[in-house]
A and B are shown apart, each in its own frame.
Chain A
Amino acid sequence: EAEVAQSPRYKITEKSQAVAFWCDPISGHATLYWYRQILGQGPELLVQFQDESVVDDSQLPKDRFSAERLKGVDSTLKIQPAELGDSAMYLCASSGRTGSDSYEQYFGPGTRLTVT
């Protein structure tokens, strides 16, 4: 069964350092999402791509976060510099292109980030 891949699974970094997360969606899925999940909360959307274009990045802290999906396949989320409040689980998800398929999202295992 096809899965969403993410790496690394765990990352510990010091504040002010740069970190990057990678996501490979299910093959053929046009839409890719990055969510942030703070401990004890539900996931919140950071950025949504349709192919290589950003559809929604209204909740992405653009002074320190950046995301790209250059060829419309895999994606990288970067934080520079990391702050203590960035400690969270970062989840990637993907979905099909049209209609109700676009809401059925498949999640990767996530990257647990700890900023010290």
Chain B
Amino acid sequence: AQSVTQLDSQVPVFEEAPVELRCNYSSSVSVYLFWYVQYPNQGLQLLLKYLSGSTLVKGINGFEAEFNKSQTSFHLRKPSVHISDTAEYFCAAGGSQGNLIFGKGTKLSVKP
């Protein structure tokens, strides 16, 4: 079955600390991989995407992610977080029909 697993439902971190949000995907999904951010009562905003090429992908707001085929992972990282990064983050993979399959989300809480 096609699935995306986000290993942490909540990640608390202090401001200016590094953060990693973990994502694993099943081998049955495509290797089109995405990270989206969602602020309360808003839609999803694309942070970054991996379609092909370099396995290290840089996105907006200082985020980056690394595609690891052998570990079927696509973890999201930021070296120094800000209060404004507090939001919910969703990992997604391309399904067989061109749709997206989402993980359950990770709530990032940045504390002062």
Contact = CB atoms under 8 A, between A and B. Distances in A.
Same complex for A and B? Answer yes
Interface of A: 4, 6, 31, 33, 40-45, 48, 55-56, 89, 91, 93, 95, 100, 102-110, 112
What are the 3 tightest A-B residue pairs by CB atom distance, in nearest-first order? A42-B102, A107-B43, A103-B94
Given A31-B98, A100-B51, A103-B51, A42 B42 contact: no
A43 to B, nearest CB: 5
B32 interface: yes
Contacts of A42: 4, 90, 92, 102-105
A112 B41 contact: yes
A4 B42 CA distance: 12
Contacts of A40: 104-105
Contacts of A105: 46, 100
B98 A110 contact: no
